[in-house]
Structure 1
Amino acid sequence: MTIASATQSGPGRTAADPADPSAAPIQLTVVRRDGGSTSFDQTKISVALSKAFLAVEGPEAGGSHRVRDLVVELTERVVAALTSRGDARRSVQVEDIQDQVELALMRAGEHQVARAYVLYREERTKARTPEDAAELGSERPGLTVRAADGSTAPLDVERLRVVVAEAAAGLDAVDAELILNETLGSCYDGIAQHEVELALVMAARSYVETEPEYSYAASRLLLDQIRRETLGRVHGEPRQASQADMATAYVEYFPRYIETGIEAGLLDPELATFDLPKLAAAIRPERDLDFAFLGLQTLYDRYLLHIDKVRFELPQAFFLRVAMGIALEEDDREDRAIEFYELLSSFRFMSSTPTLFNSGTTRPQLSSCFLTTVDDDLAGIFAGIRNNALLAKYSGGLGNDWTPVRGIGAKIRGTNGESQGVVPFLKIANDTAVAVNQGGKRRGAVCAYLETWHLDIEEFLDLRKNTGDERRRTHDMNTANWVPDLFLQRVEAGGEWTLFSPDEVPELHDLYGTAFAEAYVGYEQAADRGEIRVLRRIKAVELWRRMLTVLFETGHPWITFKDACNLRSPQQHDGVVHSSNLCTEITLNTTVDETAVCNLGSVNLVAHLTGSGLDADLLRATVKTAVRMLDNVIDVNLYTTPESERANQRHRPVGLGLMGFADALFALRIPYSSDTAVAFADSSMEQISYHAIEASSDLAAERGRYESYDGSLWSRGVLPVDSIELLREARGGDLTVDTSRQLDWDTLRAKVLRDGMRNSNVLAIAPTATISNICGVSQSIEPIYRNLFVKSNMSGEFTVANPYLVADLKARGLWDQVMVSDLKYHDGILSRIDRVPADLRELYATAFEVEPAWLVKAASRRQKWLDQAQSLNLYMSAPSGKALDELYRSAWRHGLKTTYYLRSQSATHVEKSTLKGTDGRLNAVPVTPETPAVCKIDDPDCEACQ
């Protein structure tokens, strides 16, 4: 067979690695659709490109120097892309070449030509006969597969056919033969076993952009790979099992899996004392098929247990292991473990990442979030940094209250010197977060909070800037403003604002509401009398403008509201909320002696829908079990500091949230930008809140009230929805919050007064970026980002297509390759595609098309039911000073406790090229929505809350 060499762009250069001049040129063979092969000829690419330009620009394009030069340049780009991958494969398929042609056209900005090329490809595909497809599926003779031990065997095409058929079972839009043919076209003689498995997965993944069901097919093909790896490790010999085999294979595997994990020192030996046959019999193997590809790949890469990077944990064993760990101290452990397993494996509820990582292991640090207050002396500061390291080690997310630390120029009595302020210590905290990377799973994640009256607030605003003294920058740490109401009232009144060092105004840190305002004015008067040594005065509106400017420029500091967090806190009798957490949804009291701890999990809203709305009975059952699971975490948890154990045992806070809100709106045909969506946010959160409070009260009757219950708002009959009036009164009525309700809150209030509460706090909405991937639903309460995009996280890059939109477009005869191309070109936004009907444009409006006012309205309706807060991202397509000012004042006036990232659009969005063949870690371009220079939609820093 003759194999032609292909040159890269640039005179005299070959397709060899440019870093190795002595390397031989890479040579390519083209695999035809009929399974045969031919030598690579780049002139065919030039001809195809020329025809595409002629089709769009007419015959005159043939004589255009611009077109001729562009054809040469694009041809060289295509050849370079085909020959620079560096893998062992020396053959390409026709489809690969065509993909690269389309990619080159898109990247060159020749979108109309690319569209014509897409249409041509689609017409050619339709023109092929069924006999052509059957011929492609014929067995390719002479191919061998190389096993891990170096032995070879013939390629088992029949087993591939069975595996692919299982992957396509029940997926009407998935063509099993297409996947098989694509896979066979990628195989070569002597291919490694793992490469065959990868080829199967990649073949299915390449069609996700045109048909979302291929995501499930790809997941099932990955599952076959996981079964081979896992069963072989547990049984000590090579094993393969089809999905049909797993009904019995799981039962045999599960006890051996527990034994393997204990012997490796990874699983708690107590798990072996469960009735393992009973638990194994409860496993639902069919639920392995419910994962979309992104979910299963994420699970494989980061959650399934391994020994020397060889997985020994199957997905359903993973869920059951987590359930067993949470049920360790239950009286009826097996039944409770099965109950918890049912909830997790059905995706109705998902525990947060630390719980999933560590439950049932020898290091069961299951809590999600930790909040600390840093004391104002060297011992206290470095004790706080040390605690950060210990808490972050096992996946905790941190929120630090730095307000007590004195400001620049404040007197240090011990040395008779002057303080350099809080910033140098924040730099050390930042570097500690980077150093403690949780065993390589992710870097430590921390957010520093500072009150707006602190003397160093202006330097604090600059911490995330890319310019200035690097010794006073913290590029890896999140920051947040802790804003009292008095400051915003001064902004609106055009008044002055005074900055103090906390060592001279010690009361302010622990005061809020009218008490804070009175004390603050008193200190200002003392300053006027010359009784305050260090201070600075500034126009309140100037500081506010700078806060908003820096928020837009760097994504930080976030804006959170001190008084709303405290005046509505159930625990205001026992301390003060000095900060929120890493993701701004936790609002718990902290002191130097108590590190607040919260234990998180989220209800999957869309899993509780019927044709007419939420299934109230199913939702109640889910919430009841979920709250029990979260409460159990407190007792089985590994505490790495005494301050965190003390706080968690005294107050027992948990945070039940939700995810899949956007999916629920799609399923109910409700546009995000509508009063109906706001009403659904209200009613759905009301039901979750009601059932969660009821469940905690039930646990109090069964297990006892939490230690600091007496004196709490709960003990006074004040539920979260009632506490709105405390905030309204403190603000003199300046509050825009709807207080309507639909359920029987009087009966629940009476129950709480009678039985008490097991948990000081019950509700908080976390971001859920990772666990929502596992469940295959939209993140938390977020609007959809794009209808077609590439999602990037630590597991790679994944094509994500909105399946609800695809189904609607199919039903109207509008889903084709041209629509895919248009979605790419228009960044997944429908409003720019004329042939999409208006009702679909409205229903599937993306995050930057939704006016942020709707986000605030919906958040306000949820906030009234929450005893903690919610991670609320705000999106602005065209931010301005006036728009930002109005947005954040509106959030404050609507009673929100916190806000999270401000997300504005980056200069470039979705990759305007084919996603086929680029959906993977080897050659994909990660595309994520970003604010300028920072914030990703799938923020890896915040997985502790997910």
Structure 2
Amino acid sequence: MSSDLITPLDAPHFDHSHDDDDVETLDNTALSHYAVIRRNGQLTAFDANKIAMAMTKAFLEVEGYSATRSTRIKHTVKSLTEQVVQKLMAQVSTHQKIHIETIQDQVELALMAAGEHKVARAYVLYREQHAKIRAATAQKPLIHVKNARGEILPLDEPKIAQRVAQACRDLSDVDVDVIMQASFRNLYDGIAEEDINQVLIMAARTLIESEPNYSYVAARLLLDDLRRETFTQIHIGIAEEITADMMNEYYVDYFQAYIHYGIERELLDPRLAEYDLTQLAACIKPERDLQFTYLGLQTLYDRYFLHWDQVRFELPQAFFMRVAMGLALNESQREQRTLEFYDLLSHFDFMSSTPTLFNSGTLRPQLSSCFLTTIPDDLEGIFGAIRDNALLQKWAGGLGNDWTPVRGMGSLIKGTNGQSQGIVPFMKVANDTLIAVNQGGKRKGSGCAYLETWHIDIEEFLELRKNTGDERRRTHDMNTANWIPDLFMERVHLDQEWTLFSPHEVPDLHERYGDDFKIAYTQYEQMAAEGKIRLSKKVSAVGLWRKMLTMLFETGHPWITFKDPCNIRNPQQHVGVVHSSNLCTEITLNTKANEEIAVCNLGSINLVAHINEQGQLDEEKLARTVQIAMRMLDNVIDINYYSVSTAQTANLRHRPVGLGLMGFQDALYRLRLPYASEAAIEFADYSMEFISYQAIYTSTLLAEERGCYSTFKGSLWSQGILPIDSLQLLAQSRGHYLSLSLAQRLDWNGLRERVKTVGMRNSNCMAIAPTATISNICGVSQSIEPAFQNLFVKSNLSGEFTVINSWLVADLKKLGIWDDVMVNDLKYFDGHLASIARIPDDMKRLYQTAFEIESSYLIEAAARRQKWLDQAQSLNLYMAQPAGRKLDSLYKLAWIRGLKTTYYLRTLGATHVEKSTVNLPNYQQPMETLMSPNSCNLDGGECEACQ
């Protein structure tokens, strides 16, 4: 065996005569497609037994021959070897290569993490000693490259260095030589030419934790691959390798060829060819390709760009132009509107939701984000609703299902004279449908089931996500949410009893809210007491509330959402009832079983892009962005492909849209405002008021141009009751159970009169969605979320990505304390600054992360936004050390502040954090475990069907 392939402790003075007898042989079958890069550039098969042998010899060196006979040592070696293999496999994908040094790094880390410090120290010393020997004597390995024609040629280092230099141009604090050195560690003799760029990308990726600008380097190297792939696929007669500098020259020819190529393969709408493609191509901004972070571009590459036979043929600016063209198809001035839309998207001022980005300009333009349905109480209706779910999610829609009308367990079925099994068996079928229909193969199906708190099956509903119990009564892939009337919350406050009913005996409760609900509910309670209702059950309201919170903590579900504020403040209460929210709890629209499936069309403003250099909200720019964005969203309604007719009916009647925002945390950084501050709460209020004003005003402009939506008459809008005014309606219903500032800055009187006189184009205008994916594309913080951590590894369907807070790094650079020690500190303390002495206190406060911020600040900021929203917001709540009393206070505060909905409760739990490059011996105290929130079951922690 070459010493290059085994432990550096394989020194000549060791007696290895007993090694093979003392090391348990491991099965390498599952590892057969992995290879190890030796230091001379040659490849050899991956063999886990060599790792086990290395560790055994390490113990032998420290503890002597008897160590190999120890049962404990054998068990330790086997366990640590398995850990090392798992770590290595997580770092590379199938058929990739692993450098010998990477393997030895993981062995060293595993020994340290296991507390085998003496063994690890000997291992480290031997590695250092032999590294010096190799540095003095070794020659650079000769690497040969296999090109596309099968020719074997020497590696062209100057050409590679030039490519890296172009990727680094105009970026500060990045080093071409550092990337080249890191790349050579993963180059091997006989490497395919097309794989070299992947090695460069991986090298740049590993450096992101020490310098955020390496994320842009990695993205630009990925662009090199994408251009090569695209031009090869489309065949527009360009033989040379195209660089970023050359795209100004080539984009015109490419863009026209790209449109025709997509149409010929029946991927793009033939009407796109009717545009003036020369004019549009001339207005493309190739330099905007360079604004992507690696996470953003890789996400687009993996899941958004059009491809044929798994080969991409869509470049980023063509992608944005295609989306813009698709949204302008019905415009009279198509090219002008297309360029307006393109400029907004490509400049990251606003981003349409994922379904719009997926499908705009294609033959199946399903552009809407969310669909809300009510499940009827009959077998045909239930399975018809599940069929509708399948059709809607096939085209990338997120689902919110209202299950309240379905009769409860034990209720009479007249047709068969039998007893109902309740909602759970049907929800299990709906859950399995989410798995079977995976949104066209692009991402997992996603839905949320809602149930009102008075339903007789509520206690079983609360347990649907438990990991114990009868699996036939569990829905592990479906989100769940409580739809809670105000009367229940009042009973909780007063510690009174609560009565559960089956909806077929009290059918009007589903359609009632506010005072009407209270009157009807208390009447039904009296009837139950008199024996006039067959199926009912009395429970303690406090006991049921506690069980809700317990399940929320244990399983992350069901979420807490409030029926009455959603309905009392609903602009469309004259034509229906809001029976649930959507998948991500930000949509509050009417639904009617068998008649209307509510649809919402989403997009989000990048708030930080509207903070000017003077540290102020750029109101002029923001007003323009809102006006263009609202037009884009309104266009979605008419262009959209509807797979279910009841969805088309509802969308065309009411024309709701949901304009939201993202980058709120980044905006606070730019304004130098800590999230946990009164100033941040005031900014949340002020910024949302301005967006609300402009969104409503723009809808009146669209109404003047295109006409009002058909059910405008009788709406709150038609009465001059705007979202800020509807709070008074909630106050009248709630009494002292509502406490919220009603302060306002803008002149709303003129807008009220305009709305009453001119009308509205859209029944609803605003909703703040999670933006899990589109914020990655734009390289900004997600939605209204506080920073999760200042340094962490993000996992999604595109892989694992190092995410570091570039705002923090910039500040640390100004102080002259951004160095390797600081990187080590951030990794060791899981991105938290509190224990890092060198960082000033004011900076620690500014860069507090989600679990360091008092949860009430999240509620207070959300309440200020909710004043101005005609729908709701996806509000995650974070709690580092949850306890029953804390949860009780937090969710009661959410209700008292008038919030319509909440989303995930994120609590701390052990996770798999990678600390492989932390210099652990420098830290004497016990190593803390990295903690992360309970994650959504979708997309590795991202609930992203909406955005």
TM-score, structure 2 normalization: 0.89
Q: Does 1:326 align with 2:332?
A: no
CA distance in 2, matches of 1:43, 1:556: 43
1:633 aligns with 2:642: no
Amino acid corresponding to residue 29 of structure 1 in structure 2: R
Structure 2 residue 699 is the aligned partner of structure 1 residue 696: yes
Q: CA deviation at 1:529?
A: 1.8
Match of 1:465 in 2: 466
Name the amino acid aligned to 2:526.
Q
- Does the 8 Å CA contact 1:219/1:297 hold for their aligned counterparts? yes
Q: 1:93: Cα distance to partner?
A: 6.9
**2:394 matched to which residue of 1?**
393
- What letter is aligned with 1:734? Y
Structure 1 counterpart SS, 2:754: helix
CA change 1:731–1:435 in 2 (3 A) is same
1:6 maps to a residue whose letter is I
- The alignment partner of 2:365 has SS state of coil
**CA offsets 1:203-241 (integer angstroms, 9 cap, x no match):** 101101111110110010111011100111011676521
Output the CA distance in 1 between the equivalents of 2:382 and 2:498: 28
Q: Is the 8 A contact 1:824 1:910 kept in 2?
A: no
**For residue 421 of structure 1, what is the aligned residue in structure 2?**
422
**CA distances 1:897-946 after superposition (whole Å, capped 9, x unpaired):** 00001110112363232289xxxxxxxxx998332xx5369766732211
Q: Distance in 1 between matches of 2:672 and 2:438?
A: 42
The one-letter amino acid of 2:209's match is: E
1:282 maps to 283
1:208 aligns with 2:208: yes
Residue 489 of structure 2 corresponds to 488
Gaps in structure 2 of 5+ consecutive residues:
11-18, 42-49, 63-69, 920-928
What does 1:63-74 correspond to in 2, within 5 Å?
none
Q: How far has the Cα of 1:153 moved from its partner?
A: 3.9
Q: Give 1:299 shift.
A: 0.4
Contact 1:799 1:915 in 2 (8 A): no
CA distance in 2: counterparts of 1:14 and 1:82, whole angstroms: 21
Check conservation: 1:872, 1:899, Cα contact below 8 A. yes
Q: How far 1:371 moved relative to its partner?
A: 0.3
Q: In 2, are the aligned partners of 1:168 and 1:174 still within 8 Å (CA)?
A: yes
Q: Do the aligned residues in 1 keep the contact of 2:795 with 2:940 (CA within 8 Å)?
A: no
Highest relative contact order (Cα 8 Å, sep 6+), 1 or 2? 1
State how 1:120-519 maps to structure 2 within 5 Å. 143-235=143-235, 240-519=241-520
Change (3 A) 1:700 1:114: farther
TM-superposed deviation, 1:20: 4.3
2:756 to 749, 753, 761: 753
Structure 1 range deviating more: 228-237 or 753-762: 228-237
Alignment counterpart, residue 797 of structure 1, candidates 787, 797, 800 = 800
Give yes or no for contact 2:37–2:188 (8 Å, CA) kept in 1.
no
What whole-Å deviation, never above 9, does each CA across 1:348-388 have from its counterpart, x for those lacking one?
A: 10000000000000110000000011111111111111110
Contact 1:433–1:446 (Cα < 8 Å) also in 2: yes
Aligned sequence identity (%)? 59
Deviation at 1:669, TM superposition (A): 1.1
Between 23-32 and 153-162, the greater mean CA deviation after superposition: 23-32
Q: Please report how far the alpha carbon of residue 83 of structure 1 lies from its aligned counterpart in structure 2 after TM superposition.
A: 9.0
Query: Which of 586, 594, 602 is equivalent to 2:604?
Result: 602
Q: Which amino acid in structure 2 is aligned with residue 107 of structure 1? A: A
Cross-structure match for 1:103 = 109
CA contact under 8 A between 1:17 and 1:23: conserved in structure 2? no
2:882 maps to which of 862, 866, 879 = 879
Residue 821 (str. 1) matches residue 844 (str. 2) = no
Equivalent residue, structure 1, for 2:901: 898
CA contact (8 A) 1:118 1:817 kept: no
Aligned-partner Cα distance in 2 for 1:21–1:759? 56
Shift in Å at residue 177 of structure 1? 2.0
What count of residue pairs does the alignment treat as equivalent?
910
Q: Which residue of 1 aligns with 2:65?
A: none
CA shift digits 1:580-638 (9 cap, x unpaired)? 00000000000010000000000001111113221111111111100000000001000
Cα distance in 2 for residues equivalent to 1:511 and 1:79: 59
Structure 1 stretch 861-870 or stretch 78-87: which is displaced more?
78-87
Residue number in structure 2 paired with 1:92? 99
- Shift in CA distance, 88/469, structure 1 to aligned 2, threshold 3 Å: closer
Cα pair 1:827 1:912 within 8 Å, conserved? no
Alignment RMSD (CA, Å)? 3.8
SS of residue in 2 equivalent to 1:30:
coil
- Matched position secondary structure for 1:808: helix
CA offsets, 1:821-850, max 9 Å, x none? Answer: 222222111112233221121111111111
Which amino acid in the other structure matches residue 763 of structure 2? Answer: S
Distance 2:857 2:88 in 1: 49
Q: 1:305, 1:311 within 8 Å by CA — same for their partners in 2?
A: yes
Paired AA for residue 501 in structure 1: S
Correspondence 1:646-657 to 2 at 5 A: 646-657=649-660
Q: What is the match of residue 29 of structure 1?
A: 38
Q: Structure 2 CA distance, aligned partners of 1:251 and 1:387? A: 42
User: In the TM superposition, what is the alpha-carbon distance from 1:406 to its structure 2 partner?
Assistant: 0.7
CA drift of 1:808 comes to 1.4
Q: 1:928 touches 1:936 (CA, 8 Å); kept in 2? A: no
In structure 2, what is the Cα distance between the partners aligned to 1:505 and 1:79? Answer: 60
Alignment-derived partner of residue 58 in structure 1: none
Asked if 1:845 corresponds to 2:852, the answer is no
Amino acid at match of 1:358: N
Structure-1 separation of matches of 2:890 and 2:31: 61
- Distance, in Å, in 2 between the alignment partners of 1:821 and 1:69 is 32
> How big is the shift at 1:77?
8.6
Cα gap change, 1:89 to 1:939, in 2 (>3 Å) = closer
TM-score normalised by structure 1 residue count:
0.89
Q: Distance in 2 between matches of 1:451 and 1:618?
A: 43
> Which secondary structure does the structure 2 equivalent of 1:943 belong to?
coil
Instruction: Give CA-to-partner distance per residue, 1:76-134, whole Å, 9 cap, x none.
Output: 7999789987987888376x467436633553368999999999999x99x9xxxx99x
For the Cα contact (< 8 Å) 1:655–1:764, is it kept in 2? yes
* Structure 1 residues 709-764: Cα deviation after superposition (integer angstroms, max 9, x where no partner): 01111111011011100000001242111110111111221221221110000000
Return the offset for 1:795: 0.3
Q: How far does residue 12 in structure 1 lie from its aligned partner after superposition?
A: 5.5
Task: Note if contact 1:102-1:117 (Cα within 8 Å) is conserved in structure 2.
Answer: yes
Structure 1 residue 410, shift from structure 2 partner: 1.2
